[in-house]
Structure 1
Amino acid sequence: MTSASSAVGDGRTVIVGPVRYAELCGSGRQLLLDHGFTLVENETTVPWTQAELHSLLVGADAAVAGVEVYDQDALAHANRLQIISRLGVGLDNIDLDATRTRGIHVVNVPGGNAAAVAELAIGFMIAVLRRLPEMDAATKAGRWDRFVGRELAGKSIGLIGFGAIAQLVARRLHGFDVAVTAFDPFADEAAAARLGVRLVDSAAAAIADVDIVSVHAPHVAATHHIVDDALIGAMREGTILVNTARGGLVDQAALVRGLESGRIAGAGLDVFEVEPTSATNPLFAHPNVVVAPHAAADSREAYERIGLATARAIVDVFAGRLPEALVA
């Protein structure tokens, strides 16, 4: 590394919120070190508290953001901060209005973990259809039972949202000979045509008469509880619901009612309205609900990609270049 490259980060501090950053994002971490940045890393197994974040922001020039919340209160401590580089896609933990007011760049990594999330979404579909958790539990308990499930082949899929992840889901599903419908007010029509996806003009139209509904929308005010009693009531009896996006997109109480009524035959959930969720969550009373701890994006390949992209954005800002995927 040249001295000019090293000088980019001289005297500058990057705070790193995501846990296991050194283990999972080695290339990105090394890039920052090679450019002379000083790293203050979260070496625990849990996110920083807001008090810890506030204290660290006082001396930070840049931040690699995980799930910690960069709201107005936090940013009030960030007089030196020039960039928040989000290790992932979602930005609901960053107050973008406040960052714009303070002139702080915000970047994310759209598509960086899309493959990992898309694969888990399809994995949930198969797990629920084939009743994998029930088979697993019974076999380990010494019962050689027969669980008759259903095939994914030939099913109809409704996608709520048609961004990078949903498009990969559609692409990966192609080999299963399924019919895919999608709703997204900002849908890429060319991508839909290329993938053989039928676009519709509402969430209700996307879920009408399909076997599986998979949620991939961003969580904003307009999409909060987009899957509610009314939408579930409009689904075909025995629909499977998959959510690998954000917990707030699905009204959990409505989902429980849908499961109890049989309108929802099963669900695959990586996200919850309140996280971490409680062991007494009423959804867990249903053996046809398969869950994960908000881990859809957690593949080693995804972390390597997004870790490097996140670091490059920080280097770009301090080298006087405009970073890719600039949000604010």
Structure 2
Amino acid sequence: MEPWRVLVTDGLQDTGISILSKEAQVDDHKGISAEELLKEIGNYDALIVRGRTKVTSEVIEAGKKLKVIGRAGVGVDNIDTAYAKEKGVIVVNAPTATTTAVAELAMGMVFALAREIPRADASMKRGEWAKKEFEGVELYGKTLGIIGFGRIGSTVGQMAAAVGMRIMACCLFRIPETIRIIGGELLMMDDIIEKSDFITIHTPLSDETRGMINAEAFARMKDGVYLICTARGGIIDEKALLDALNSGKVAGAALDVFETEPPVFKELINHPKVIATPHMAGQTNEAQRRASMDIAKEVTAALKGDKLHWKIV
């Protein structure tokens, strides 16, 4: 029998490649174009991607030998999971690998917004000493509303509780016990929107969550609210956010994800009350190593017909 062939399109650390190579031939074609992927995918039993590669129905249709698609990370919105299921192609991910990294960036953004750290740093680099311009707010006693209280959201909640924030959370898909352990409250989405001083978003992008934070939601928020999103672009209506920033309804926003990536809405990115980062929440050495190992083991298990830990479809 010929060895399985695995195509990697967005890079994978050596630890993952090493695990895969014990069972299969691995071809790392980092940065492969959509056109080339369509030409090549028919030769492979497995495909491993990150967020860049779009695994469309056309790609899955062209993958005549394809048995499994692995996402080295959490979100699978770049994979047509419905069509994969229809074609009998397994989809797996590595949902726990980046939890700490994403939660730490989200919490870092809370601190950065509260004390205007990026703007103060930029002024110093311009040779200014504008101390009196940077009167921030303390986090102690403030209410943090967490929309989506899964692995990442609950980790953020634990971190925020440790600095004395009041935690409120809503979970769209399950009722977590962690919220009670850290002394927080499990509330409805409307309560989070209306009562929070800081709001951080940790839900997947879906038909239910797309555009969820819109003009209507902003209108119901406290004046001077702070907004953080390290989840997925498209959950926040970016035009509505810009309007809310300009009106003062939103005192500051920190965004790691955007409707279009790289973002084209420069007016939002360049806004003085916005902290923008390039979808880097999961980009720590430790997280990428875990993601590479986890997805390599999961894809290998799928090829061998072994038990799977993180099967999407």
TM-score, length of structure 1 as denominator length: 0.91
Distance 2:286 2:184 in 1: 27
Q: How far is 1:63 from its partner?
A: 1.0
The letter of the residue matching 2:14 is G
> The residue matched to 2:100 in structure 1 has which SS?
helix
Question: Alignment partner for residue 192 of structure 1, among 176, 179, 182?
Answer: 179
Correspondence 1:246 to 2:232: yes
Q: Deviations over 1:208-263 (max 9, x none)?
A: 22110101111100111110001111110000000000110000000000000000
- 1:112 is matched with 97
- 1:26 is matched with 14
The letter of the residue matching 2:64 is N
- 1:70 is matched with 55
Is the Cα–Cα contact under 8 Å of residues 68 and 303 in structure 2 kept in the other structure? no
- 1:4 is matched with none
Correspondence 1:14 to 2:6: yes
Distance 2:73 2:6 in 1: 17
- Sequence identity (%): 31
What 5-or-longer segments of structure 1 have no aligned partner? 1-6
Is the Cα–Cα contact under 8 Å of residues 149 and 176 in structure 2 kept in the other structure? no
- 2:67 is matched with 82
The number of residues matched between the two structures is: 310
Q: Deviations over 1:99-135 (max 9, x none)?
A: 1111111111122101110000011111111111111
> The residue matched to 2:254 in structure 1 has which SS?
strand
Q: How far is 1:272 from its partner?
A: 0.6
The letter of the residue matching 1:29 is I
**Distance change >3 Å, CA 75–CA 154, structure 1 → 2:** same
Distance 2:16 2:300 in 1: 10
Distance 2:266 2:281 in 1: 20
Distance 2:296 2:209 in 1: 31
Distance 2:74 2:176 in 1: 22
Q: How far is 1:321 from its partner?
A: 0.5
Distance 2:305 2:234 in 1: 38
Q: How far is 1:96 from its partner?
A: 1.2
Q: How far is 1:187 from its partner?
A: 3.1
- 1:101 is matched with 86
Distance 1:130 1:267 in 2: 13
Question: Alignment partner for residue 161 of structure 1, among 148, 151, 162?
Answer: 148
State the Cα RMSD in Å.
1.4
Matches within 5 A, 1:235-314: 235-278=221-264, 281-314=266-299
Distance 2:268 2:80 in 1: 31
Q: How far is 1:87 from its partner?
A: 0.4
Distance 1:98 1:259 in 2: 40
> The residue matched to 1:213 in structure 2 has which SS?
strand
> The residue matched to 1:208 in structure 2 has which SS?
helix
> The residue matched to 2:177 in structure 1 has which SS?
helix
Is the Cα–Cα contact under 8 Å of residues 256 and 281 in structure 2 kept in the other structure? yes
- 1:3 is matched with none
Q: How far is 1:48 from its partner?
A: 2.9
Distance 1:122 1:257 in 2: 25
Distance 1:317 1:269 in 2: 35
Q: Deviations over 1:5-30 (max 9, x none)?
A: xx9xx5221100113x2xxx221111
Is the Cα–Cα contact under 8 Å of residues 133 and 287 in structure 1 kept in the other structure? no
> The residue matched to 1:250 in structure 2 has which SS?
coil
What 5-or-longer segments of structure 2 have no aligned partner? none
